[in-house]
């Protein structure tokens, strides 16, 4: 049985959810933190230290805990997205999206027909042994997967309305450190020119009826949680 996607459900229900972003596989920490009522765990497959086997292990743990496993993939090509989905990831986050064409390629790879052209293979969790009703399984898979795109360059900002309008894109986010660099203010994501550009771009996305990550997600990075916990418990 395919579990619900907490991100997709939260968007429909217009409510907030929370999650922890991991840059390394810490299965025990995932189990402990899930007790705090997490809705999702985020696997950083772009900048994090995950093998593809680690990704699958994280997804298995997330499934057992009833939280949605999502992952930032290294890039938005179909082979990469397919590999992450076949390990059990149910939310794809694609970095460095600059064009409508890139958005469409990502959507095509994320969803089975008729929504896309995702490849069906022997990966988990959808290719269950003995399942005879594959059409029903593919419909469930489409309903249970989400797609988010990251805008991280000036070119991406220029094209954000067309990117956000692509069918299958659930929400967008901004990679602020790469974006501020692209806008001529490296290391300064709070520069007035950067924040103004992001606010204007976010308004275009919302005008299309789609949210920005911060509209419905509260999150923390695992290292920040560890450091903050140490400061509080070991003053």
3-class secondary-structure state, position 65: helix
Residue 212 in tokens: 């920005």
CA distance 58 to 110: 19
Annotated catalytic residue within 47, 96, 185, 191: 47
Please list, residue by residue across 101-111, b when 16 or more beta carbons sit within 10 angstroms of its beta carbon and e when fewer do: ebbbbbbbbbb
Question: Helices 27-34 and 52-65 sit at what angle, rounded to 10 degrees?
Answer: 20
Residue 146: what are its φ and ψ, rounded to 5°?
-125, 155
Q: Which helix (H) or strand (E) holds 151?
A: strand 146-151
Annotated active-site residue 21? The verdict is no
Instruction: Write out the catalytic residue numbers.
Output: 47
């Amino acid at each position: 049985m395919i579990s619900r996607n907490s991100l997709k459900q939260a968007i429909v229900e217009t409510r907030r959810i929370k999650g922890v972003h991991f840059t390394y596989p810490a299965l025990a920490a995932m189990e402990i933190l899930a007790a705090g009522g997490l809705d999702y765990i985020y696997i950083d497959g772009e900048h994090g230290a995950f093998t593809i086997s680690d990704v699958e292990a994280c997804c298995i743990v997330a499934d057992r805990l009833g939280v949605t496993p999502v992952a930032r993939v290294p890039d938005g090509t179909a082979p990469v997205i397919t590999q992450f989905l076949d390990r059990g990831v149910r939310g794809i986050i694609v970095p460095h999206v600059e064009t409508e064409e890139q958005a469409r390629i990502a959507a095509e790879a994320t969803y089975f027909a008729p929504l896309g052209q995702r490849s069906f293979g022997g990966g988990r969790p959808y290719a269950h042994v003995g399942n005879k009703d594959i059409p029903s399984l593919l419909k469930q898979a489409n309903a249970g997967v989400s797609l988010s795109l990251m805008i991280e360059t000036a070119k991406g900002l220029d094209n954000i309305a067309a990117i956000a309008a692509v069918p299958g894109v659930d929400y967008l986010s901004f990679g602020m450190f790469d974006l501020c660099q692209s806008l001529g203010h490296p290391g300064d994501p709070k520069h007035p020119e950067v924040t103004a550009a992001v606010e204007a771009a976010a308004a275009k996305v919302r005008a299309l009826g789609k949210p920005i990550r911060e509209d419905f997600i509260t999150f923390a990075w695992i290292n920040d949680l560890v450091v903050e916990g140490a400061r509080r418990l070991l003053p």
